[in-house]
Structure formats: C-alpha cells, structure tokens
Amino acid sequence: MGRAPCCDKANVKKGPWSPEEDAILKAYIEQHGTGGNWIALPQKIVGLKRCGKSCRLRWLNYLRPNIKHGGFSEEEDNIICSLYISIGSRWSIIAAQLPGRTDNDIKNYWNTRLKKKLLGKQRKEQAARRASLKQEIMTKREINESFMVPGAIPHQQSPYWPDVPALVMNQNQDSHLMDQESIRNLLIKLGGRFSDNNQESALFTTINNYPLDGSSRQDQVPYTNSIDVLSSSAPMRSMDSTCCSQFPNSNYNGPNMCQAGLENLLVELGGLVCSNPQQVEGLDSFYGMDMAASGSTGASSAESNSWGHISSLGYPQLVSDYETCLQSMPQDSSFEDSSFFGPQ
DNA sequence: AATCTAAACAACCGCCCGATT
DNA sequence: CAATCGGGCGGTTGTTTAGAT
C-alpha cells in the first residue's frame, strides 16, 4: 500500500502559477509566515487551490526575496562544476554555496547548458590538438616502423575505445586507475589550489582508501581539510568551513562523493558515446589524451579553463597515451579512417 | 508567414529521511 | 519500537520560447 497523498489531488490546481496566485501566496507568507507546515498552508489561504508542496516549491524557487534568475557568471559556472565534481548532483548543497540561486535553477542550468558547454569546449580544443598531434605521431611512427622486428606484436592493449560503464565499475578493483596526478591537474584547472606541504597528498591517499561502494569511512581524513577546491577569488566561503559543515555527518562521504560526482559525469558522457557514436568525435580526450599535454595549470581565464578533461580522471591509463594506442592498432587497420579522428 | 526543432524553464512526482506520536 | 507525517531532494516531464528552415 502506498502513502496517502499529501493533498486532495482532485481539488488542487496544477500547472504554471498565475501572477494572481503568486501575489496571494506571497502576501500571505509575508504576513503570516509559513506556519511551519506547508501541507496545511493552502487551506489557510483563501482563494488558493494549490498543493502544499507546490506552494513550498513556488515560494522557495521564485517568490522568496533575493532570488536570482539566469545570468550565471563564469565564476558561478566554475563553482557549480567544481562542486558537481566534488559531490555529484547534490543540488541543494551546491545551491547553498551560491547566494540567491536555487537548487532547481542550478539543476536546470547544469542539465541544459553547463554540461553542453563543457562538451563544446572539449570538442573545440580537441579538434585543434588532434590535428597537430596526429601529424606528429604519424611522423614518429614512420620512423619507428623502419626499426620494427617483423612479426613482433606490440604489447598487449585493450581496444582503443573503452566500455565506459564497465570501466567505472572496475575502478572498484583497480584503484590505481584513479590517476592521482590527473585529479590534481583537473582541480587546478578548475581553479583549485592545494595547500602547501604534504597535506595535499592526503586527498589522494584518502580517495584511494575509500571504498567505492558507497559505504562511509568515518575514520578517514575529510578531503576538504586538504584542499580548497575553488578559486581563492571565488566569492564563497571555503569548502572547509561551509561545504563540509553543510553535509550531515552521517551522509557526507567526502571522497566517495568526489568519485560519485566524477562517475556520474563519466557515465553521463559514456552514455552519450554509447547512444550516439557521432558524439564520440571530440570526446577522445575525455579518455585521457591530453591532461599531461595541456601543461598550463592556471585557470587564468574562463576560456582557457577547459573543464573538458574531467574524464581523464577516470580513464587515465586506458588511452592516456595516444602513441601507445596507435601502436596497438594493426597496421592495416581502418582505425585511422574511422570517425575517431573526426572529419579530416 | 508557417512549420518544425531544439533549448530553456517551470513544475510535478515519488522517494528518502528525520521528527513526532 | 513501529507507524505516520511533513519537509526536502533529485529526477523527470510538460510547457513555453527562440531559432532555423
């Protein structure tokens, strides 16, 4: 038997709120408050036939004072991305770091724009990088071929395109797949900074020590003690002091969430790859081609701050070396003609 | 100008969790 | 201790709007 509905569905209005309804609800709450019971609230408001939950949502997302809509700044983008990577789709927590923003707003913004923006930047950068890299590799290979022993088989290699979900799962067994250096690079790219001395390694030690099955390890050092994920210039409080404090002790798994966020993103992107091979073009570096090559660690400008390399975190050793990948391919393979390289 | 498509936004649904009884 | 309830949250769907053809 299911739960009793919170209201009489037959007698409540659904759909978009009219300005009149907004005015009624706003006036009432400003005058009387919510009374601490949203379910009972609509019954007290004359002329408002709405479910209590609907009232709550409307008030929290649109009617309460100091709500900002749209016009997300680059800085806010950075914060959202950083936190998504850190804790996953905990929109309410992310929203708590952005004054005036609501979880619903951020969630929509992420799903409709930020995710695509991330992919777009990735493609743009890769198109250029790929062209020059390919040329370089081809030249190198031609040289190497002249030294190749006939019949020799290059060292064993997995297929060039990984099975994304499976690999994510396998991280459970192969924690070394989490390339610590890649994570560091990513976070730096995202505008993060590490504390001095040995503390910085605590994050990675902790990550590797945490199980991926969601179980918490309370004895571990919270990763937020060792890293300030966000730019020091960000108009927000540090992760240490606020983000952490907002996580209920029982729920916040620190590094688990970090990986959860990454995995979410990776699986999402992997889904894109699986569902639409055309999307693969441009995603190659998500599988680790260029994290090291990118060199610059500064997040100096929004444009240069290429989030796109996130996925190399998960698969740094799979196709992390373009040259190795190429060498693993049969010489007569049609690989180079495939869409892997995109339009020539 | 009309139609189609994709993007953006608003709202609902259902589940989970903690508080209360 | 179990049942119930409300609040809160994340995922998803429906609607509107903008842009392309």
Which has more pLDDT, A38 or A235? A38
How far, in Å, CA of A194 to CA of A192, rounded? 7
Q: How far apart are CA A99 and CA A96, in angstroms?
A: 7
Distance CA A278, CA A283 (A): 10
Q: How far is CA A188 from CA A20, A35, A44, A231, A239, in A?
A: 48, 46, 52, 9, 15
Mean pLDDT for the stretch of residues A224-234: 33
Cα torsion through A200, A201, A207, A208, rounded to 10: 170
Residue A50 CA and nucleotide C1 C1' are separated, in Å, by: 36
State the pLDDT at residue A108. Answer: 86
Q: A246 beta carbon < 7 A from strand C?
A: no
User: Is A179 in contact with A319 (CB distance < 8 Å)?
Assistant: no
A104: CB within 7 A of chain C nucleic strand: yes
Tell me whether residue A249 is exposed, middle or buried, using C-beta atoms within 10 angstroms of its C-beta: 0 to 12, 13 to 18, 19 or more: exposed
Q: What is the pLDDT of residue A115?
A: 79
- The hierarchical CATH code for the domain A9-63 is 1.10.10.60
> What value does the mean pLDDT of chain A take?
55
* Proportion of chain A above pLDDT 90, given as a percent: 0
Cβ of A36 < 7 Å from strand C? yes
Give the Cα-Cα-Cα angle A221, A224, A227 (nearest 5 degrees): 110
Confidence at A92, pLDDT banded by 50, 70, 90? confident
CATH 1.10.10.60 domain span(s) along chain A: 9-63
Strands (E), A18-94: none
Task: Please compute the mean of the pLDDT values over residues A226-248 and round it to a whole number.
Answer: 35
Interatomic CA distance for residues A255 and A274, integer angstroms: 27
Q: Tell me which of A118 and A165 has the higher pLDDT.
A: A118
C-alpha to C-alpha distance for A317 and A310, rounded to whole angstroms: 14
Residues with CB under 7 A from strand B: A 2-3, 9, 13-17, 50-51, 53-54, 57-58, 61-62, 69-70, 104-105, 107-109, 112-113, 116, 248, 250-251
pLDDT tens column, A109-121? 888 888 777 766 6
Report if CB A42 to strand C is under 7 Å: no
How many angstroms separate the CA of A2 from the C1' of B16? Answer: 14
In this structure, are residues A314 and A266 in contact, taking their beta carbons and an 8 Å threshold? yes
pLDDT classification of A145: cutoffs 50, 70, 90? low
> Is pLDDT above 70 for A325?
no
Query: Between the CA of residue A306 and those of A101, A259, A290, what are the distances in Å?
Result: 24, 20, 11
- Beta pairing class for A227-228 and A193-194: antiparallel
What pLDDT digit, counting tens, does each position of A13-65 carry? 888 888 888 888 888 888 888 888 888 888 888 888 888 888 888 888 888 88
| Strand B: positions under 7 A of a protein C-beta atom | 7-16, 18
Predicted pLDDT at A105: 87
Query: Residue A182: its pLDDT value, please?
Result: 40
